Chain A
Amino acid sequence: MATSYSKVGEMTTNDGVPLKVSLQRSQRKLKIWAFLLVAPLLLFIIVSFIIPVVNMSLRGVENPQVHTIMPNVTKALARWEGVDLPDEATYAALVLDLQEGRKNKNIGKVASRLNYERSGMRRVISGSARKAVKLTEGPYKKQMIKIDKSWGDVAVWSLIKRESGQFTFSYLISAVDYRTNDQGNIEAKPENKQIYKALFGRTLIMSFTITAICILLAYPIAYLLATLPLAKSNLLMILVLLPFWTSLLVRTTTWIVLLQTQGVLNDVLVWMNIIDEAGRLQMIFNKTGTIVAMTHILLPFMILPLYSVMKTIPPTYMRAALSLGANPVVAFVRVYIPMTVSGIGAGSLLVFILSIGYYITPALVGGQSGLLISNMIAYHMQNSLNWGLAGALGFILLVIVMVFYSIFNKVIGIDKMKMG
């Protein structure tokens, strides 16, 4: 009842605790409560998503094969200088590891690993392992070189030493079109093996192009939707939302049907005598196909944020500018467009981030020239089985996306994003 004063001017609650402390306490309690609400989801995302993605990126530097399957060679090579051929003890270790690896049936993993770095290493390792089983006594150096002359090549030993660590940079180096040469120096790959830098470049350029086209197409539409009466704009909005809600595969299929050489659009052009039967246009399975289909798929992501910004701009601003005698074009460019910059920014970054990582559409309509970096990652995952390289490429892509995402977050703020 009676409010007590412990010190003059300081308020306390009934039980004598200073009000400030009590408030802090309840504030902390609320904080904990809020965090507890988020905790289950946070845990779920970390386990089901963050760990897998980190794990994938780590594959780009992990290098367990030589290290674990050839432990004796790894140890013996640690003190090797790399100038002349290794000593007899190292060859003895090699024979031991090959025999052991052959017995455990895992020497092929070393063979696959080293073959990525140097063509023919699969034959050297697997073939030698098959024959090394028969060796019973030394000296081994001569016998091994007789089994495969590669064992008399210092470059082969340097390669094994280089890749005997638990971690390697060779995938990351390879992912930017460099390699380590026989002398151990890092150099650019020969021209006829360079691919990833150009592919990253193409991915960025095509994403920019798609973003730019999306801005051009979305702006008039968003403006129309924002300025029409609500009943009409709601109706037209459906035309934007329907593609947004339609399956990605359906939309990609439909572009194949429309654009292929024997497709609807070519048929129409032939029928209208614009082109002849032999002059049918190649509009798909190339860059054009990827750009057209991806623009179609990503356009709603540009229209929606633009629309939500434009809707907040009172029409009186433009009217004021006009009534003050501004030329309509000037008024639009100097008054209206600056007010929509935040919408353009939000839409652009969203479209850009999404298109950098696109996989399905380029794979189906991109042919050869329309492929993006994601397709190369999928190729290394499924076809070449070079998972380390896939991890390295994925890591670089992830870093690029994160950079753009943090810009997005700084400039617009992820919590400002609205859907549908």
Chain B
Amino acid sequence: MAIPTYAGKLERSWYYSYRVICALIFLFLIGPILIIIPLSFNVQPYFTFTPEMLSLDPAGYSLRWYEEFFASEEWMRSIKNSFFVAICSTIIATSLGTLAALGLSRPEMPYRALLMSILISPMIVPLIISAAGMFFFYSSINLAGTFLGLILAHTALGIPFVVITVTATLSGFDYSLTRAAAALGANPRTVFFKIMLPLVTPGVISGALFAFITSFDEVVVAIFVAGPEQRTIPLQMWGGIREQISPTILAVATLLVIISIMLLTFLELIRRRSERQRGLAPG
């Protein structure tokens, strides 16, 4: 929406103020996330910019909080736990979720709306209710305080994202393609692997990423369901923030921001590739 050359004074000023408003909202979105990055290098245990930092004096910066983080056995353990739980729940959520999405998007699927609502419910039910419910139920079947319990819980929370993204990819799917393939003599297996799968793969991968980040970032259910051996990064952070924000937390936060940038880039690459494949995007 370039400004037309014939625009009047009023339009011009509106055009620029609109741009300024947008810039401010973008600042609101992204500023807070970026500001903790320099603060995590503060040599002092404060959460504000010291005069040394503002004058870009190298003495005002240090890696001590990162050293503390990497030297801490608890934090290292929580990283391991987080990745383990997130990867396991992603695998389960993605495989079950993709299968279900394939079924859901068939034109002949009965009770689709009802089933969809049930499968999406972990996203809608307030987390505290899910967490409390899982705490009681998993305790009663001896799953509370175990890795399996936490993985199952996180899988349930990740499933809606897989179902939504994969069904969205399939929503434009033309089923006459599969019929055509079948008519040409392809058996159902070939149809599935040669026709369906390549088309849903981008949806599956982005669904998997959502499931991964859901588990990786999850804290409410973990508070209730995880035991001391399952302490994850968010749990460790939650304890830290509640008591006192040590600058180590800012270092962890910075690392987490970097991880999300990586995931986001990955997702963007996949999206572009699939758009090219479908011939939606130029180039």
Contacts and interface: CB of A to CB of B under 8 A. Distances in A.
Tell me, yes or no, whether A and B come into direct contact in the complex with CB atoms closer than 8 A: yes
Interface of A: 27, 30-31, 33-38, 40-42, 44-46, 48-57, 59, 217, 220-221, 224, 227-228, 230, 234, 236, 238-243, 245-258, 260, 262-264, 267, 296, 299-300, 328, 353, 356-360, 363-364, 374, 377-378, 381, 387, 390-391, 394, 397-398, 401-402, 405, 409, 413-415, 417-420
Given A36-B103, A409-B113, A227 B129 contact: no
Interface residues of B, number: 94
B109 A263 contact: no
Nearest to B124: A405
B25 A221 contact: yes
B41 interface: no
A381 B132 contact: yes
Contact of B30 (A243, A256, A262, A267): A243
Interface in B72-118: 92, 96-97, 99-100, 102-104, 106, 108-110, 112-113, 115-118
A27 B32 contact: no
26 contacts: A38-B100, A40-B100, A41-B119, A48-B153, A53-B125, A56-B132, A239-B30, A243-B30, A245-B213, A245-B263, A246-B260, A247-B217, A247-B257, A253-B237, A253-B250, A257-B48, A258-B35, A264-B49, A267-B49, A296-B29, A357-B125, A360-B219, A364-B242, A397-B129, A414-B117, A420-B210
Nearest to A258: B32
Contact of A257 (B28, B47, B100, B261): B47
List the 3 closest pairs (A to B, CB-CB), nearest first. A357-B126, A37-B103, A56-B133
Given A221-B22, A250-B256, A267-B48, A296 B28 contact: yes
Contacts of B256: 246-247, 250
Interface of B: 1, 11, 18, 21-22, 25-26, 28-30, 32-33, 35-36, 39, 46-49, 92, 96-97, 99-100, 102-104, 106, 108-110, 112-113, 115-122, 124-130, 132-138, 152-153, 155-156, 159, 161, 163-165, 167-168, 171, 206, 210, 213, 216-217, 219-220, 224, 234, 237-238, 241-242, 245, 249-250, 253, 256-257, 260-261, 263-264, 267-268, 281-282
B257 A246 contact: yes
Contact of B261 (A242, A248, A358): A242
Contacts of A51: 137
A44 to B, nearest CB: 6
Nearest to B138: A52
A386 to B, nearest CB: 12
Nearest to B39: A257
Nearest to B152: A48
Given A49-B121, A264-B49, A420-B206, A247 B234 contact: yes
Contacts of B245: 253, 256-257
A254 B36 contact: yes
Contacts of B127: 357, 359, 374
Given A42-B100, A364-B242, A414-B116, 17 more contacts: A38-B115, A42-B119, A49-B134, A52-B130, A53-B125, A54-B133, A55-B137, A56-B137, A220-B25, A246-B257, A249-B253, A257-B36, A262-B47, A359-B128, A359-B220, A364-B241, A419-B210
A415 B167 contact: yes
Interface hub of B30, B137, B281 (most chain A Cβ within 10 A)? B137
Nearest to B111: A35
A296 B32 contact: yes
Contacts of B121: 45, 49-50, 53
A260 B48 CA distance: 10
A390 B132 contact: yes
Contacts of A262: 46-48
Contacts of A246: 33, 256-257, 260
Contacts of B219: 248-249, 360
A250 B257 contact: yes
Contact of A238 (B122, B159, B264): B264
Contacts of B213: 245
Contact of A41 (B99, B164, B260): B99
Nearest to B188: A33
A53 B123 CA distance: 13
Contacts of A418: 164, 168
B33 A45 contact: no
